[in-house]
Structures are given as structure tokens and as C-alpha cells.
Structure 1
Amino acid sequence: MTRPFLRRPEALLGGAILLALILIAGFAPLIAPGDPLAIAGRPLIPPFTDAGLPLGTDRLGRDLLAELIHGARTSVAVGLSAALVAVFAGMTVGTAAGFAGGAIEAALMRIVDAFQIVPGFLLALAFVSVAGPSLWVVVLAIALGAWTGPARLARARVLSLRESDFVAAAKVMGMSPAEIAFRQIMPLALPPVLAVASVIVAAAVLTEAALSFLGLGDPNSVTWGAMIAEGRNQLRSAAYLSIIPGIALVLTVISTYLVGEALTDSLTGRDKR
């Protein structure tokens, strides 16, 4: 799997950007120590005019580079956490539905259908509006709209595996249905779900930015969406306030997509064509 992945220049470029982003997010307190929302200088210093403030300041005099770095931490945390919750929930429901069959499968898949009818962003918007904005509420809100895809993929894979010889052997050995489903079959159903995990991460980053732009993000965390919203009132005089976090957001989503496409091709063998 790694050789086809490493032969794709777009995958290497996306992976390099993502690795840099993860390192920046992980070492944010060391790269930009202190409170990123603290006043660092006079308001609206343009980028590249002050050596101590390379990206300038916002309308309140806060260091834009420090906000950008800590915003990366929020985006990475939300994207990965939402993807993990969505994949775990989807795998659990999809595996249970595919292995149980009958009325249990029908009931679980109707729940999947009900969630899939509602657009993910509207579901997240409603959930955060009711539960209140916080980082973990945002993660759960995004996962609520993202777990249905993994559930359908897991169910389809389990349906093709449940009649296999190793399942029959496990039944003869006296293993319970739950053990067979979640210990024997679920790991084999995981690869196709992991292939779409990158799409969930990218969508989660965008959804979190959109919620923050609307003022529904965690008020105690720096987010790129809030930075873009903060700068929209100065688009004519200081457009960089929105452009810089916007570029960071675009690069993150595109690099995640490129890595995800390469991983999907490697897992499905499409690179062999």
C-alpha cells in the first residue's frame, strides 16, 4: 500500500502539509507561548512590517500568527476527534446491523436513514444551538452528521463476510454472536471505512470553521472560522485578517483530500490500473 502512495506527488505534498499542520498544532504552546488572545501591539499592523509580529495584528492588537497557530490546534483536534467518534459509532451500528440481520438490521438502518435525510451542517447547527457552544459539543455535533457513511460501508462489508468459513468455525467453537461480530468481523470491515475517514476530517474542519464563523464555536478557543468572521468588518482596510486564516483553512482541506484520495486508491488497488 505504501509504494503506490509514495509514488503520487500530490499525496506527498498533501502529506507534508498535514504533517506540518499536526506538528504546529502539537507544539503550539511552544511555538507561540502565552495567551494568543492577549494584546501584543498596536491594532492593525500589516503583515511583514514588524519583525516581532510577522503576520501583523488584528483590530484589537492581538498577534495574528499566534492566533493562526493556536487555531490550527483547534482545527486538528476537532477534525480528528469528530472522525474518530463518527467512525466508532458508524462501525458499531453498521457491524451490528449487518451481522444481526432481520428486524434489528431494519430498525438500525431506518435510524441511519433518518439521520442521513438531514444535512450534516444543519444538524450540527441545531445541536450546538441547543446544547451550547463548546469544543466537545462541536465535535459531537459534527459526528452526528458524519457517522451514517461509515455505518453503511461497515454494514455492506459485514454482509459479505458473515457467511465466511471463519465465521462458521467461530460458531462451532462456541463464540457468542457479539464476539464474532465485534472481534472477528469488525476488524476486517474497517479498511473501507478508514478510506473515507479523511473526507470526514476535511468536512469536520470546514463545519467547525462555519460554526465558529456564525459565532457558535467554543468561545474559549481560537478558531480559524472566528478569525475570518472577525476580519470581515475590515475587508476593505485590512483584508489580510480574513485572507490569512482562509488560506490556512483551504490548504488544510485540500491536503486532507489529497491524502485521502491516495489512501483510497492504495486500499482499493486502483493504482494498479
Structure 2
Amino acid sequence: MRFALRFTRSGPGLIGAVILALLALAALAAPLLFPGDPLKIAGPALTAPFTDPAFPFGTDRLGRDVLAGVFHGARASLAVGLAAAFAALAIGLVVGTLAGFAGGFIDEALMRVADAFQIVPGFLLALAFVSTLGASMPTVILAIALSAWAEPARLARAEVLSIRERDYVAAARIIGMHPLEIAFREILPNALPPVLAFAAITVAGAILTEAALSFLGLGDPNVVTWGAMIAEGRNVLRAAPFLSIIPGLALVSAVLGVYLVSEGVSDALRPREGRAA
């Protein structure tokens, strides 16, 4: 309750929450407002925005409804961002908890694996993964998760190292709890806050990575995405710049919303500073 009250007092957090709520509403309403395949030809090609009431955002060079694409693209971008971030955080938490609690050879081995993933830029790793296994939504989610799990793992490990010697952990050992039960039941919940604070960066990065992969033609060809719409618009950028600008603004709004919400969460979690007399 206190966290919610502090969050509502954060201007950036509220603005970000409103942006994400609108995008989530658009994603949920897409099948109702625009039923059927958003990739189908709906009208004349290259209709300019706000010139035809049937197509408020116009149509692309094949005659597909841009507004329908933006709404359905919100479903893909948010789904990929949240799913990839969840998978990356889950992998990172498990690896970081095991490394920090076990120590020794296990810690060294797991951290060297994390180093190997961090040496390669995340986007290049995702690019190589999708290029090898083929473009599909599950593959894109897995590729982004594998490129983003190392940093949450290091954060979780650092927290576990500071927690594992505390009194309640020693008490759990004395009463005979299994080491894995101690690690994941007693230590992990207390190591979550800094990792969850990092989640917003992971979600924003996942949305941008998915858009970049789709822009390069490595997204799922059967799913409308903002990156693919931007790539489609670049072919007629001079004649119809709105085809890239509109989905680009939607993409910027999603990332900005995630960033502002993370600012609000940080403000809510930050201890209140004493007021000046």
C-alpha cells in the first residue's frame, strides 16, 4: 500500500503508467476493433492519413490498414518484451542464486559462462540465434532472453553474496533445511528488489531488439510488428514518410512508457529523504 501511494505521487511514473495502459488497451482491443488478418489488403494503396475515414492512419503501399497494423503491432511488441524479459530474469535469478550461494567452482563456472554471453553484444547474439534457427516469435523471445540474462544473474549473485551469511540463513542451515531450499526459499526472495528494478531496462531492451530484428526481416513474417512496419515504410520514405513515422512513434512511446514507470518505481522504493528545516 505504501509503495502504491509513493508511486502515485511520482509524476513520471504516472505518465509512464498511462502510456503503457493505453498501449495495453490497444493490444487487447486489436482483435475486436480490427478482426481478421491485419496483413490483408483493406483498401487503395498509399492512402494518406486523415483523408479517408475508413483508414485514419492511411494505408501502406499494398493497401493494408496502418492503424490496424499499429494496434496489432502493440500485441507483438508488448508480448515479446514481457515474455523475453521474464525469461531473462528467470534464467538470471536461478543462475545468480546458485552461483552466489554455492560459491567455489560452481560460482566460477557459472560466472565464466555469464562472461562469455556478455562479451558478445546482445543484439548480435540474438541476430545470430534467429538467423540460425529461423524467424518465429518463440525463437525471437528465446534469442532476446539468452542475450539479456547475464546482467540480472550478476545482480542476483551480488545480492546473494551479501545475504547468505545472515543470521536467518544460518538458522535455516542449523535446522537442517536442504541447501537448494535455503537458496530459493530463504535467500532468493530477499535478493529480488534490485533485479526487479532492472526489469524495466530488460523490457525496453527486448522491445527494441525485437523491432530491430523485424526491421532486418528476421521477425515472424506472419505477425505484424512495428519494426516490420518501419522497414516497409522505408521503401517509400520520400513519398509516404508516415508509414515509418507512425509505427516509429508507437515504438518510442512504448520504450518511453517503460522508462518512466521504472523511474516511478525507483522513486517509490527510494527511502524518503528528510525534509530541510
TM-score by length of 1: 0.97
Aligned to 1:4: 6
Report the CA distance between 1:55 and its aligned residue.
0.7
The separation in 1 between residues aligned to 2:180 and 2:87, in whole angstroms, is: 21
* 2:55 and 2:65 in contact (8 A); partners too: yes
1:116 counterpart = 2:118:
yes
* 1:24 and 1:31 in contact (8 A); partners too: no
Report the CA distance between 1:25 and its aligned residue.
1.2
1:152-171 Cα deviation digits (max 9, x unpaired): 11001111110111111111
The separation in 1 between residues aligned to 2:193 and 2:52, in whole angstroms, is: 49
User: Bigger CA drift: 80-89 or 183-192?
Assistant: 183-192
- Paired letter, 1:204: A
Q: Residues 4-23 of structure 1: matches in 2 within 5 Å?
A: 4-23=6-25
SS at match of 1:27: helix
Report the CA distance between 1:259 and its aligned residue.
0.7
The separation in 2 between residues aligned to 1:167 and 1:83, in whole angstroms, is: 29
The separation in 1 between residues aligned to 2:21 and 2:171, in whole angstroms, is: 43
Equivalent in 129, 132, 135 of residue 130 of structure 1: 132
Equivalent in 78, 88, 91 of residue 89 of structure 1: 91
Report the CA distance between 1:28 and its aligned residue.
1.7
Aligned to 2:225: 223
Q: Residues 18-97 of structure 1: matches in 2 within 5 Å?
A: 18-97=20-99
Aligned to 1:272: 273
* 1:41 and 1:63 in contact (8 A); partners too: yes
The separation in 2 between residues aligned to 1:174 and 1:4, in whole angstroms, is: 40
1:207-262 Cα deviation digits (max 9, x unpaired): 00000000000111000000000010111110000000000001111111111122
Aligned length: 272
Aligned to 1:243: 245
Report the CA distance between 1:173 and its aligned residue.
1.4
Equivalent in 163, 176, 181 of residue 165 of structure 2: 163
Structure 2: stretches of 5+ with no match in the other structure = none
Q: Which runs of 4+ in 1 moved over 3 A?
A: none
Aligned to 1:211: 213
The separation in 1 between residues aligned to 2:270 and 2:120, in whole angstroms, is: 30
Structure 1: stretches of 5+ with no match in the other structure = none
The separation in 2 between residues aligned to 1:99 and 1:26, in whole angstroms, is: 41
* 1:196 and 1:264 in contact (8 A); partners too: no
The separation in 2 between residues aligned to 1:144 and 1:68, in whole angstroms, is: 27
Report the CA distance between 1:27 and its aligned residue.
2.7
* 2:14 and 2:264 in contact (8 A); partners too: no
* 1:128 and 1:137 in contact (8 A); partners too: yes
Report the CA distance between 1:183 and its aligned residue.
1.2
1:34-64 Cα deviation digits (max 9, x unpaired): 1101111100110011111111110000111
